[in-house]
Amino acid sequence: MTATTTPIKKPVKRARPGQSSPKLAYLPIIFLAFAIGVPLLIIVVYSFLEKPSQGTGVKWVFTTENYKALFIQEKLDGTTAFDTRYIKVLWTSFYYSLITTVVTLVLSIPVAMWIATREARKRTLLVALVTLPFWISILIRTYGMRQIIADEGPIGKFLGLFDISWSILYSPPATILGLIYVFLPFMILPIYASAERFDFRLAEAAYDLGAKRMTVVRRVILPSIRPGIISGVALVFIPALGSFLQSDMLGGGKTNMVANVIANNFGQARNWPFGSALAVLLIILTLLFVLIIQGIAQRRGDKVELV
Amino acid sequence: MSTAKAPSAKRGKLVNLRNFPGFTSTSWFVMFFLYIPLLYVVIYSFNSSRIGSIWKSFSVKWYGKVLENTDIQRALKNSIEVGFAATILSTVLAVMAALGLLRMQRAGKAVAMALIGAPLIIAEIVLAVGTLGLFIAVGVPLGKVGLIVAHTAFCIPFALLPIRARLSQLDMAPFEAASDLGANERQILRRITLPLLSPAIVAGALLAFAISIDDFITSFFVAGPGSTTLPVYIFGMIRSTVTPEVNAISTLLLLFSGIVLLGSYLIQRKRR
Provide the domain limits for residue B261.
Answer: 62-271
Q: Which residues of A fall within a CB distance of 8 Å from B37? A: 141, 144-145, 147-148, 181
Q: Which residues of B fall within a CB distance of 8 Å from A185? A: 34
Residue from A66, A26, A41 nearest B134 by CA: A41
Please provide the size of chain A in residues.
307
Q: Does B175 touch chain A (CB under 8 A)?
A: yes
Question: A37-41, A79-83, A122-126, B79-83: which range is least confident on average?
Answer: A79-83
Span A144-155, average pLDDT? 88
Q: How many Å lie between the alpha carbon of A78 and the closest alpha carbon of chain B?
A: 31
Residue A171 class from Cβ within 10 Å (0-12 exposed, 13-18 middle, 19+ buried)?
middle
pLDDT confidence of B241, banded at 50, 70, 90? low
Whether B240 is in a domain gets the answer yes
- Nearest beta carbon to residue A20 from set B3, B116, B189: B189
* Mean pLDDT of chain A, nearest integer: 86
Determine the pLDDT at residue B242.
62
Question: Are B10 and A143 inside 8 Å of each other by CB?
Answer: no
Span A39-63, average pLDDT? 89
Question: A2-11, B132-141, B147-156, B256-265: which range is least confident on average?
Answer: A2-11
* DSSP per position, A111-139: HHHHHHTS-HHHHHHHHHHHHGGGGS-HH
Q: Which residues of A fall within a CB distance of 8 Å from B34? A: 129-130, 133, 181, 184-185
Euclidean distance between CA atoms B269 and B265, whole angstroms: 6
Determine the pLDDT at residue A167.
85
Residue B272 class from Cβ within 10 Å (0-12 exposed, 13-18 middle, 19+ buried)?
exposed
Determine the pLDDT at residue A222.
87
pLDDT confidence of A13, banded at 50, 70, 90? very low
Determine the pLDDT at residue A5.
54
Residue from A49, A69, A68 nearest A59 by CA: A49
Q: How many Å lie between the alpha carbon of A79 and the closest alpha carbon of chain B?
A: 32
If you measure CA to CA, which chain B residue comes closest to A240? B123
Determine the pLDDT at residue B13.
45
pLDDT confidence of A44, banded at 50, 70, 90? very high
Determine the pLDDT at residue B16.
57
Euclidean distance between CA atoms A129 and B34, whole angstroms: 9
- Cβ within 8 Å of A, B 57-86: none
Residue A3 has pLDDT above 70, yes or no: no
Q: How many Å lie between the alpha carbon of A73 and the closest alpha carbon of chain B?
A: 24
Residue B5 has pLDDT above 60, yes or no: no
Amino acid letter, residue A252: G
Span A102-116, average pLDDT? 94
pLDDT confidence of A103, banded at 50, 70, 90? very high
Q: Which residues of A fall within a CB distance of 8 Å from B33? A: 181, 184
Span A123-129, average pLDDT? 89
Determine the pLDDT at residue B26.
92
Determine the pLDDT at residue A8.
52
Q: Does B241 touch chain A (CB under 8 A)?
A: no
Determine the pLDDT at residue B1.
44
> Is domain A84-305 annotated with CATH 1.10.3720.10?
yes
Strand pairing report for A72-74 and A80-82:
antiparallel
Span B96-110, average pLDDT? 86
Determine the pLDDT at residue A281.
94
Question: Are A272 and B257 inside 8 Å of each other by CB?
Answer: no
Determine the pLDDT at residue A170.
87
Residue from B177, B189, B209 nearest B86 by CA: B209
Residue B97 has pLDDT above 90, yes or no: yes
Determine the pLDDT at residue B9.
44
User: C-alpha distances in angstroms, A235 versus A132, A194, B127?
Assistant: 17, 15, 18
Determine the pLDDT at residue A36.
95
Question: Are B24 and A114 inside 8 Å of each other by CB?
Answer: yes
Determine the pLDDT at residue A135.
82
Q: How many Å lie between the alpha carbon of B136 and the closest alpha carbon of chain A?
A: 9
Residue from B149, B150, B148, B167 nearest B97 by CA: B167
Span A112-126, average pLDDT? 89
**First vs last C-alpha separation in chain A:** 10
Determine the pLDDT at residue B93.
97
Q: How many Å lie between the alpha carbon of B67 and the closest alpha carbon of chain A?
A: 19
Most confident of A33-47, A111-125, B246-260: A33-47
Residue A292 has pLDDT above 80, yes or no: yes
pLDDT confidence of B146, banded at 50, 70, 90? very high
Hey, how many other C-beta atoms are within 10 angstroms of the C-beta on B244? 21
Question: Are A22 and B14 inside 8 Å of each other by CB?
Answer: no
Q: Which residues of A fall within a CB distance of 8 Å from B125? A: 242, 244, 259, 262-263, 279, 282
* DSSP per position, A63-99: -SHHHHTTTEEE-TTS-EEE--HHHHHHHHHHHHHHH
B168/A29: higher pLDDT = A29
Percentage of chain B surpassing pLDDT 70? 90
In this prediction the ipTM stands at: 0.86
Cα-flanking dihedrals φ and ψ of residue A241, to 5°?
-60, -35
Determine the pLDDT at residue A278.
94
Whether B24 is in a domain gets the answer no
pLDDT confidence of A305, banded at 50, 70, 90? low
Question: Are B53 and A152 inside 8 Å of each other by CB?
Answer: yes
Contact A15, B107 (CB under 8 A): no
Euclidean distance between CA atoms A307 and A205, whole angstroms: 36
Determine the pLDDT at residue A287.
94
Question: Are B117 and A306 inside 8 Å of each other by CB?
Answer: yes
pLDDT confidence of A56, banded at 50, 70, 90? confident
Sign of the Cα pseudo-torsion (B12, B18, B24, B26, in order): positive
Span A189-215, average pLDDT? 85
Contact A224, A143 (CB under 8 A): no
- What global pTM score does this model have? 0.87
User: C-alpha distances in angstroms, A211 versus A188, A221, B12?
Assistant: 27, 12, 13
Whether B218 is in a domain gets the answer yes
Total domains in chain B come to 1
Residue A20 class from Cβ within 10 Å (0-12 exposed, 13-18 middle, 19+ buried)?
buried
Whether B175 is in a domain gets the answer yes
Residue B3 has pLDDT above 50, yes or no: no
Sign of the Cα pseudo-torsion (B215, B217, B222, B224, in order): positive
Helix B244-271 to helix B194-214 angle (10° resolution) is 170
- Nearest beta carbon to residue A39 from set B33, B120, B134: B134
pLDDT confidence of A285, banded at 50, 70, 90? very high
Euclidean distance between CA atoms A165 and A158, whole angstroms: 10
- Nearest beta carbon to residue B153 from set A35, A213, A290: A35
Choose from A16, A24, A183 for mutation: most chain B CBs within 10 A: A24
Question: Are A249 and B11 inside 8 Å of each other by CB?
Answer: no
Q: What 8-state DSSP symbol labels residue B58? A: B
Question: Are B20 and A185 inside 8 Å of each other by CB?
Answer: no
- Nearest beta carbon to residue A137 from set B14, B35, B231: B231
Residue A302 has pLDDT above 80, yes or no: no
Determine the pLDDT at residue B123.
94
Question: Are A208 and B11 inside 8 Å of each other by CB?
Answer: yes
Contact A290, A64 (CB under 8 A): no
Cα-flanking dihedrals φ and ψ of residue B26, to 5°?
-60, -40
> Cβ contacts of residue B23 below 8 Å, gap of 6+?
A110, A111, A113, A114
* DSSP per position, A241-302: HT--HHHHHTSTTSS--HHHHHHHHHTTT--HHHHHHHHHHHHHHHHHHHHHHHHHHHHTTE
Most confident of A192-201, A228-237, A245-254: A228-237
Percentage of chain A surpassing pLDDT 90? 45
Q: Does B124 touch chain A (CB under 8 A)?
A: yes
Q: What is the CATH number of the domain that holds B184?
A: 1.10.3720.10
Span A126-133, average pLDDT? 88
Residue B178 has pLDDT above 90, yes or no: no
In our burial notation (b when 16+ CB lie closer than 10 A, e otherwise), range A127-162 reads beebebbbbbbbbbbbbbbbbbbbeebeebeeeeee
Amino acid letter, residue B136: I
In our burial notation (b when 16+ CB lie closer than 10 A, e otherwise), range B88-125 reads ebbbbbbbbbbbbbbbbeeeebeebbebbbbbbbbbbb
Residue B18 has pLDDT above 80, yes or no: no
Euclidean distance between CA atoms A239 and A84, whole angstroms: 24
